[in-house]
Amino acid sequence: MPGNFECKREQPAEKLSSSGAEQENDERACSGGTGRRGWLWSRHARIFNRCEVGRGFHVGLILTMLLACWLGIGAQTPSPSPPALNAKLPTVFVVGDSTANNNANGGRGWGDPFVSYFDPARINVLNRARAGRSSRTYITEGFWEKVLRDIEPGDFVLIQFGHNDGGPLDTGRARGSLPGTGEETQEVVKFGEPNLVVHTYGWYMRRLINDAKSKGATPIVLSLTVRNIWKDGRVERGSGKFGLWAKEIATSQRVAFIDLTTIVADRYEALGQDSVKELFATDHTHTSPKGAELNAASVITGLKALPKDPLKKFFSAKGNAVHKARLLSSP
């Protein structure tokens, strides 16, 4: 090869483990992301700028490599196009992590099929969940601020976090929150930034709830989806104490709570461990499209069991066909 060539691509801060911790997905794998071509061009521009090209190296080779990158990324599963919104209608916002919004590696989050359970002539449904986020990082990385700007009086906000809140506070992905629902804080250093104050899971959840209320919206708290982990014929019912804390927070803030963990776990156990395998993609946390559909229908059964069934008038024919849950906790 004439000349010397070294291409330094930007790498993620940390490789993800495959042990069941929630995987981070590129924004291209999340529905509702920013423009695909704009993202690709920005990425390729960064690659080009970071390449050190020796004397005599032909520019055409660089263009060929960029074209190969373009074609390779283009082979990924395309993100669903966001639905057209009617500004005159109320909106349901889904706020959470990749268990609600995930289109990578054959997986799918429940927030996508959830849309089809509602009549688009009566209400908008926006899946604003983001992969890899905790209650803490969904706020600190600016995703919640964007949602808050779009919330109008009469809207609904479904809030579900916990899968990533148990991670490290200041190492690795540094996305964990302090355990519990109290007002404790801890100062940590994240990537060389001193005096970063981390709050409890409960503090961040209350922030989401109170912010939504301040905009005239109705917050609804959900416990976690269920992981495909079994023992003695019984499926795991929630990771840690996040389900308990979510219920405590909803009760203290006087907002509705859906025990999605129990609803889904009951359905898994009725199906049996072997049948549940096909409801998951490449790990025990992220569902396949079929599993996402089951979780979405389970959210609907939970919504229908809430006092006064607040979303009843907005369901599509598909939503109306779903029976309400028998097991649900609400304040």
Catalytically active residues are 98, 283, 286
Return the number of other C-beta atoms located less than 10 Å from residue 127's C-beta. Answer: 26
Measured CA to CA in angstroms, residue 170 lies from 11, 132, 178 at distances of 19, 15, 11
Distance CA(318)–CA(216), nearest Å, equals 28
Say how far residue 314 (Cα) sits from the centre of its chain: 23
Distance CA(225)–CA(99), nearest Å, equals 7
Residue 196 phi/psi, 5-degree rounding, is -85, 120
Say how far residue 58 (Cα) sits from the centre of its chain: 43
Distance CA(8)–CA(238), nearest Å, equals 41
Say how far residue 52 (Cα) sits from the centre of its chain: 37
Return the number of other C-beta atoms located less than 10 Å from residue 322's C-beta. Answer: 17
Q: Which residues contact 128 (CB under 8 A, 6 or more apart)?
A: 32, 93, 94, 95, 101, 143, 146, 147
Say how far residue 31 (Cα) sits from the centre of its chain: 10
Token output for 225? 């989806």
**For the chain, what's the residue count?**
331
The answer to whether 149 touches 139, Cβ cutoff 8 Å, is no
The answer to whether 208 touches 144, Cβ cutoff 8 Å, is yes
